[in-house]
Amino acid sequence: MSQDGAGVDLETSLGYLLKEASSVLRSAMEEVLRPLGMSVTHYSCLELLAQRPGLSNSELARGTFVTRQSMNVLLRTLERAGHVTRPAEAPVGKVLPARLTPRGRRKLEKATVAVRSVEIRMLAGLTETEQSGAFRILQSMIHSLRDGNAGA
Amino acid sequence: MSQDGAGVDLETSLGYLLKEASSVLRSAMEEVLRPLGMSVTHYSCLELLAQRPGLSNSELARGTFVTRQSMNVLLRTLERAGHVTRPAEAPVGKVLPARLTPRGRRKLEKATVAVRSVEIRMLAGLTETEQSGAFRILQSMIHSLRDGNAGA
DNA sequence: CTCTTCGTGTCAGTCTTCTGACACGGGTCA
DNA sequence: TGACCCGTGTCAGAAGACTGACACGAAGAG
């Protein structure tokens, strides 16, 4: 199974483990977000908007790791639900800065509690040192991958 | 932006970083797999099958983190392309053990080279110690998240 | 033996996300 | 000034994955 030597051994592959961790984290978030009627992308968009008000559609897309087309449809949904507002006219260029409505902010608060509990659960059993180590290592991976992408 | 204190700070959140890393890894894999006409799920299925021949549809689904319905349509595609074979009749129960065809194995070999190069690039700049540390930490996260899921 | 429970393969429909394409505004540079 | 390139918002179609539901076989409890 794992002794053929030619392949990427699933049992020891950090890439596979990364995918698994991400998958489990996503499932856990979906589970706690579902009672609130929100998806992970929903929440990510709102959280991003809370921390950086006035972000544009494209910027939100990059921050949540989806295409700007996908973010566009999500943003429409959030506008229709009254969680987000965008001006009808672009103040400058074509960029429409999005903002949370009070209602969106209230919705987000509940979601944040739920999501934070998941993150805390995920980190249980890890020391501060391990957490900061993981942080640095993940950043290194991201950096290496991005550089390679741009360079190729 | 990050001093409101109430939220999950995106700049320091391991969950967010995990999602980012996973997203970048996926993009990098898609990029090198595209010239071969394969998707990440395609590759994952083939790789899993190479390392554990005879896996069933449901087992493959669990191993690639998709639903068994999704894996079912993928498996059909792979069968039609001649990369995978499944017996017409289940040897026992309803479980249909899938196997790589020689053609599937050849296809996988090319993909493996491409994917391994991505993984190597990702790990560049990390010491052995850091890698095994990351491995252990990711496993801990997965374990904590899974336990919580089951317990809830 | 019978009943219940569980896991499995599969069909159907829906939803999300993606790729491709277009027009538009702003900045740079000749 | 005009040409060019880049980023943006948006429309349209396609691909992928998901949820819900069904029937069937195996394993265990009674």
Nearest CA in chain A to B66: A23
Q: A115, A138, A136: which is closest to A44 by C-alpha?
A: A115
Cα separation, A121 vs B61, in Å, equals 26
Q: Is the CB of B93 under 7 A from strand D?
A: yes
Q: Across residues B120-128, what is the average pLDDT?
A: 95
**Stated in angstroms, how far is B79 CA from D9 C1'?**
41
Q: Across residues B70-98, what is the average pLDDT?
A: 94
Q: How far is B107 from chain A (nearest CA, A)?
A: 13
Q: B110, B32, B137, B2: which is closest to A18 by C-alpha?
A: B137
Contacts of A99 in chain B (CB under 8 A): none
Cα separation, B119 vs A13, in Å, equals 8
* Nucleotides of strand D lying closer than 7 angstroms to a protein CB: 7-13, 16-21, 24-26
Contacts of B24 in chain A (CB under 8 A): 141-142, 145-146, 149
Ranges in chain A, pLDDT < 70: 1-8, 148-152
Q: Is A35 on the interface with B (CB under 8 A)?
A: no
* Whether the predicted pLDDT of B2 surpasses 70: no
Contact A140 B126 (CB under 8 A): yes
Closest nucleotide to the alpha carbon of B23, via C1': C17
Q: Is the CB of B91 under 7 A from strand D?
A: no
Contact B25 A125 (CB under 8 A): no
Place of tokens 């109430």: B6
Quote the pLDDT of residue A91.
82
Q: A29, A125, A130: which is closest to B144 by C-alpha?
A: A125
- Residue contacts between A and B (CB atoms, under 8 Å): 198
Quote the pLDDT of residue A147.
81
Looking at the whole model, is its pTM more than 0.85?
yes
Quote the pLDDT of residue A128.
95
Nearest-CB residue to B140 (from A14, A126, A149): A126
pLDDT band at B9 (very low <50, low <70, confident <90, very high): confident
Q: Across residues B5-14, what is the average pLDDT?
A: 71
Cα separation, A47 vs B1, in Å, equals 11
* Whether the predicted pLDDT of B83 surpasses 60: yes
* Nucleotides of strand C lying closer than 7 angstroms to a protein CB: 7-13, 16-21, 24-26
CB burial class (10 A; 0-12, 13-18, 19+) of residue A52?
middle
Quote the pLDDT of residue B81.
94
Q: Across residues B126-152, what is the average pLDDT?
A: 87
pLDDT band at B89 (very low <50, low <70, confident <90, very high): confident
Q: Is A100 helix (H, G, I), strand (E, B) or coil?
A: strand
* Whether the predicted pLDDT of B46 surpasses 50: yes
Q: Which of residues 94-133 of B touch A (CB under 8 A)?
A: 108-109, 112, 115-116, 118-119, 121-126, 130-131, 133
Which one has a higher pLDDT value, B8 or A134?
A134
